[in-house]
Amino acid sequence: MVSEKIRQALAGSSAIRAMFREGKELAAEVGAENVYDFSLGNPATPAPDSLNQAIREILDETDPLTVHGYMDNSGYEDVRQAVAENLNRRFQTDFDAHNVIMTVGAAGGLNIIFKTILDAGSEVLAFVPYFGEYKSYAANFDAKLVEVAPDYETFWPDLEDFRSKISPATRAVIVNTPNNPTGVVYPAGIMEQIAAVLLEKEKEYGADIYLISDEPYRELVYDGAEEDFLTKYYHNTLVGYSFSKSLSLPGERIGYVVVPNEASDSELLIDGMNVSNRTLGFVNAPSLMQKAVARCLEEKTNIDFYDANRKLLYENLTKFGFFCIRPQGAFYLWMKSPLKDEEAFVRLAKKYNLILVKGGAFACPGYVRIAYCVSKDMLMRALPAFEKLAAECKLTPSDEAAHCL
Amino acid sequence: MVSEKIRQALAGSSAIRAMFREGKELAAEVGAENVYDFSLGNPATPAPDSLNQAIREILDETDPLTVHGYMDNSGYEDVRQAVAENLNRRFQTDFDAHNVIMTVGAAGGLNIIFKTILDAGSEVLAFVPYFGEYKSYAANFDAKLVEVAPDYETFWPDLEDFRSKISPATRAVIVNTPNNPTGVVYPAGIMEQIAAVLLEKEKEYGADIYLISDEPYRELVYDGAEEDFLTKYYHNTLVGYSFSKSLSLPGERIGYVVVPNEASDSELLIDGMNVSNRTLGFVNAPSLMQKAVARCLEEKTNIDFYDANRKLLYENLTKFGFFCIRPQGAFYLWMKSPLKDEEAFVRLAKKYNLILVKGGAFACPGYVRIAYCVSKDMLMRALPAFEKLAAECKLTPSDEAAHCL
């Protein structure tokens, strides 16, 4: 006997995870080397050597009772201070340890933010397409996810639709730039307009509306673009960060939340998030990994690795005749389905051993997501499969794209 | 602006964590060496050397993409298989990898069990006194915690009260033996009677009632008692385990849930718990630590360390005239408050720099919990403070207890 909510969740389970499993099943059938799995945001470039070295040093230098022991629910004070100082240096912010709460990844972070600010019936706005888990996280607190349409040229939010969707029940808006699944990075002008709408609506309703910045891909920007940090645009910005992508640690579940002093009721929010961290069952972020990431805050993942994949994939897919949104950040490519029903297209792609994720999983049917955080070798071997897929879809090869990037 | 539930949670926040903070504040005031902090279940005996050695070996031997990468939400298959085989060998069970879900500690495990089986309005029975967080976990899913009275001689459950509290809304009963906060271990006869009542009520209502065994203290039993594993008593038993105490890893948040095949709808439960692990934001148990504990399943914590503390504390407190429940497991001593108002007694104890936790935090006023997972040195230094506290309470010293253990 399972709960009614879980019964529903099982019926509509994660399409990303489903494709990940399908990819593994296909690999068992035809051999792993013949499957081109672009389903999961699982980095194919390893954690920097310094991370494992930091772990060894911590084990050598530190009392095991400290390394593996309880600390405050918000995390080790020295780790939080190090995160605050790193952000201050990079983004001219003014945080200290008390503004930072270490979390069990960004997923844990978003859940403690949601628990702290959402009541049953609260509304959270998300810009389509969005990471499907947002809906589950809102449902954990009986809140409702309200979808805002994109501009289909740029995949920036449609600001008029955004304004029209804000209601007195709106407690928060989630923004995710660099974006999963589109790879789009919002320019400063868009962030300023989002902030202006929020300020106007806060005033109109006399209530706080929090902007939640989900930024696991913060550092993954290309073409010389600068990393952005969103607290400067809007006073009520709450940040959820993960080291999953920036240090290639997705399995370790380590990240943090930032609550700036200028956020309304910031002290109450911080206290609430500590309680949420505890009562949701996280208790605290994994202790050894807290200490390890604190020693690697200046490290960068291998951006060139992803950038090479990005160029190779975008150039070739466009050349084959696919319509793609040019990726500017993260490690996803957002491609229009040549078939009206993108689920049929995903099935067709699987015939060529290509594992893609349907846009419907991101509330945006008609597109597919290609996670190019894969080995270059696999990507190279996958290109002929994409070419055959394009041919079966009767797409016209074009040389135009080769010069786009 | 915080949610209504969090506002309430902040008002009634964890007394254990509050005392932990009070202890740290007092330490800042009078010096850490002069504070006798018995508030938190934070092991004072370190993780076995083999644990850190296992971490080093895993880092040396394994591809970092595997060690720190995503895996199925239930955890690494080889880790789950190792856990299953370890349990089978020790407890004559018949599990395989699919019965085991790796979790973010026991707190994470209980939350994924609760999310999977509880609807709003469901009732969960807990035996007083119980770990206060159970109430928060049930509230996460709008379920109600229903309290069952103890027999105050033994601190086993009052079975008649237990029977009377089961209703058609009852979905689960939590049992925690060895027990936090009493240190009591339920004998087989009690478990058999609990199981008989549950079977009777399942039949009466034609519905499943799950027995949730929260067993972070499974291995911490004294006086030659054998470790017990509860699935043998009742078909619908779900197990939540943590390595926090058995390997002294409370900060690492690593544990597992077991769903036996004989549980009703076991496959649906397993699928539901995987979804819950993902959607509650845990995603998966920390990856490196999964691999590390899998190599240390045969390790034992330093039981003799706790046993020595147990004897020393029980003998002396009883000699000083305190009324204590003789601890048989875990690392807590449950003591009757000499003052009617145990909160006043906790305040009085603090005058002697003794940090205890009020029984009210476990739904059982009139008692206090003393966590003796502390250094022997601190315990020795604390004894004179306890003696003075007894004198101030006008207790009569007695030699009787010295021969009890």
pLDDT digit string, tens, across residues A180-228 = 999 999 999 999 999 999 999 999 999 999 999 999 999 999 999 999 9
CA distance A8 to chain B (A): 10
pLDDT at B404: 44
Say yes or no for a CB contact (<8 Å) between B68 and A286.
no
**In CATH terms, are A4-47+301-403 and A49-294 the same topology?**
no
Residues of A within 8 A of B265 (CB-CB) are 1-2
% chain B with pLDDT above 90? 90
Compute how many other C-beta atoms are within 10 angstroms of the C-beta atom of residue A49.
10
Residues of chain B positioned with their CB less than 8 A from the CB of A73:
17
Q: Which of B241, B282, B290 to mutate to test the interface with A (most CBs of A within 10 A)?
A: B282
**What is the average per-residue pLDDT within B184-192?**
97
Q: Which of B175, B169, B122, B127 is nearest to B148 (CA)?
A: B127
- B14 pLDDT above the threshold of 80: no
Of the candidates B400, B398, B389, which has an alpha carbon nearest to the alpha carbon of residue B337?
B389
Mean per-residue pLDDT for B214-226?
95
Contacts of A281 in chain B (CB under 8 A): 104-105, 107-111, 137, 280, 282
Q: Is the pLDDT of residue B346 over 80?
A: yes
Confidence of residue B402 (pLDDT cuts 50, 70, 90): very low
Question: Where does the pLDDT of residue A252 fall: very low under 50, low under 70, confident under 90, or very high at 90 and above?
Answer: very high
By the 8 A CB rule, do B327 and B340 touch? no
145-174 in A: which are within 8 Å (CB) of B? Answer: 171
pLDDT in tens, B62-75: 999 999 999 999 99
Please say if the pLDDT value at position A400 is more than 80. no
Note which residues in 4-33 of chain A have CB less than 8 A from chain B.
Answer: 4-6, 9-10, 13-14, 17, 21
> Residue B230 — very low, low, confident or very high, per pLDDT cuts 50/70/90?
very high
Distance CA B106, CA B217 (A): 11
Q: What's residue A316's pLDDT? A: 97
How far is the alpha carbon of B56 from chain A, nearest alpha carbon, in Å? 7
A279 to chain B, any CB pair closer than 8 A? The answer is yes
Query: What single DSSP character describes residue B395?
Result: P
pLDDT value of position A396: 85
Please tell me the distance in Å from B136's CA to the nearest CA on chain A: 6
> Closest Cα to residue A48, out of B64, B116, B194?
B64
Are A136 and B278 in contact (CB < 8 Å)? yes
> Is B92 in CB contact (< 8 Å) with chain A?
no
Class of domain B4-47+301-403: alpha beta
Q: What is the pLDDT of residues B81-95, one digit of tens each?
A: 999 999 999 999 999
Encoded tokens for B365:
């006023």
CB pairs under 8 A between A and B: 243
Nearest to B286 among A140, A269, A289 (CB): A289
Q: How far does the CA of residue A318 sit from the closest CA of chain B (Å)? A: 30
Kindly indicate the confidence band of residue A399, based on its pLDDT and cuts at 50, 70 and 90: low
State mean pLDDT over B216-228: 95
Task: Specify the DSSP class assigned to residue A38.
Answer: -
CB B47 within 8 A of CB B249: yes
Query: What crossing angle do the helices spanning A287-294 and A77-91 adopt, rounded to 10°?
Result: 30
Find the mean pLDDT for residues A332-341.
97
Alpha-carbon gap: A391 to the closest alpha carbon of chain B (Å): 34
Fold of B49-294: Aspartate Aminotransferase; domain 2 (3.40.640)
Q: Among A8-22, A119-133, A314-328, B161-175, which is the least confidently predicted range? A: A8-22
pLDDT of residue B370: 98
A-interface mutation test, from B70, B202, B268, B374, most A Cβ less than 10 A away: B70
Task: Look at residue B158 and tell me whether its pLDDT is greater than 80.
Answer: yes
**Among B residues 247-276, those touching chain A with beta carbons less than 8 Å apart:** 248-254, 264-265, 268-269, 271-272, 275-276
User: CB distance A248–B68 less than 8 Å?
Assistant: yes
Read off φ and ψ for residue B96, nearest 5 degrees. -130, -175
Query: B124 at the A interface (CB within 8 A)?
Result: no
Share of chain A above pLDDT 90, in %: 90
pLDDT band at A287 (very low <50, low <70, confident <90, very high): very high
Beta-strand (E) ranges in A40-196? 100-103, 123-127, 144-148, 170-175
Q: Which chain A residue has its CA at the smallest distance from B284's CA? A: A251
- Residue A33 in 3-state DSSP? helix
Is A280–B111 a contact, with Cβ atoms under 8 angstroms apart? yes
Q: Given A107, A252, A281, which is nearest B288 (Cβ)?
A: A252
- The pair of structure tokens assigned to A342 is 């993108």
Instruction: Using the predicted structure, report yes or no on whether residue B239 has a pLDDT greater than 70.
Output: yes
Inter-chain residue contact A69 with B272, CB threshold 8 Å: no
pLDDT at A198: 98
- A-chain CB neighbours of B276 within 8 Å are 6
Q: What is the pLDDT of residues A339-365, one digit of tens each?
A: 999 999 999 999 999 999 999 999 999
Angle at A36 between CA A35 and CA A41, to 5 degrees: 125
pLDDT at A13: 65
* A122: closest chain B residue by CA: B3
Separation between Cα atoms, residue B283 and residue A42, nearest integer Å? 13
Within 8 A of A286 by CB-CB distance, chain B residues are: 251-254, 286, 289
> CB distance from A226 to chain B under 8 Å?
no
Cα–Cα separations (whole angstroms), residue B29 to A206, B18, B23, B24, B356: 43, 17, 10, 9, 18
Q: Which residues numbered 63-82 in B keep a CB inside 8 Å of some CB on A?
A: 63-65, 67-73
Q: Is residue A16 scored above 80 in pLDDT?
A: no
User: ω before B43 within 30° of 0 (cis)?
Assistant: no
Q: Please tell me which residue of chain A has the smallest CA distance to B270.
A: A2
Beta pairing partners, B242 = B255
Q: Is B40 on the interface with A (CB under 8 A)?
A: yes
- How far apart are alpha carbons B351 and B292 in whole angstroms? 43
Instruction: Answer whether the bond into residue A129 is a cis peptide, omega within 30°.
Output: yes
A136 at interface of B, judged by CB pairs closer than 8 A: yes
Strand intervals (E) in A142-223:
144-148, 170-175, 210-214
Name the minimum distance, in Å, from the CA of B262 to any CA of chain A.
13
Do A365 and A332 meet the contact criterion of CB atoms below 8 Å apart?
no
- Minimum distance, in Å, between the CA of residue B402 and any CA atom of chain A: 31
Averaged confidence pLDDT in chain B: 95
Domain boundaries, chain B: 4-47+301-403, 49-294
pLDDT in tens, A64-82: 999 999 999 999 999 999 9
What is the pLDDT averaged over residues B162-185? 98
Mean predicted confidence (pLDDT) in A278-291: 97
pLDDT value, residue B13: 65
Structure confidence at residue A405 (pLDDT):
46
What's the CA dihedral at A264, A266, A270, A272 to 10 degrees? -40
Structure tokens at A68: 């593996």
- Which pLDDT does position B23 carry in this prediction? 85
> Is the model's pLDDT at B133 over the cut of 70?
yes
Q: Which residues contact A391 (CB under 8 A, 6 or more apart)?
A: none
Question: Mean of the per-residue pLDDT values for chain A?
Answer: 95
Q: Which residue has the tokens 């309703």?
A: A205
Q: How far out from the chain centre does Cα A210 lie? A: 18
Cβ distance of A253 and B42 shorter than 8 Å: no
Average pLDDT of span B163-181: 98
pLDDT at position B265, please? 94
Backbone angles phi, psi at A150, to 5 degrees: -90, 165
Question: pTM, whole model, 2 decimals?
Answer: 0.95
Of A1, A115, A269, the CB nearest to B265: A1
Bridge partners of B147, per DSSP, are: B126
DSSP one-letter code for B179: P
Q: Which chain A residues are within 8 Å of B56, Cβ to Cβ?
A: 56, 59
- B26-44: pLDDT as tens digits: 999 999 889 999 998 889 9
What is the SS3 assignment for B237?
strand
SS3 annotation, A267-333? HHHHHHHHHHHHHCCCCCCCHHHHHHHHCCCCCCCCHHHHHHHHHHHHHHHHHHCCCEECCCECCEE
From CA A252, how far away is CA B67, in angstroms rounded? 9
* pLDDT digit string, tens, across residues A119-155: 999 999 999 999 999 999 999 999 999 999 999 999 9
Q: With CA atoms as reference, report the closest residue to B369 among B387, B355, B348, B388.
A: B355
Collapsing DSSP states into helix, strand and coil, what is residue B55?
Answer: helix
**Pairing state between β B210-214 and B144-148:** unpaired
CA-based nearest residue in chain A for residue B122: A3
CB contact under 8 A, B6 and A275: yes
User: B2 vs A65: CB contact, 8 Å cut-off?
Assistant: no
B105-117 vs A4-11: helix axis angle to the nearest 10? 90
Evaluate if residue A334 carries a pLDDT over 80.
yes
Mean pLDDT along residues A236-254: 97
Least confident interval from B28-37, B256-265, B356-365: B28-37
State yes or no: pLDDT of B403 exceeds 50.
no
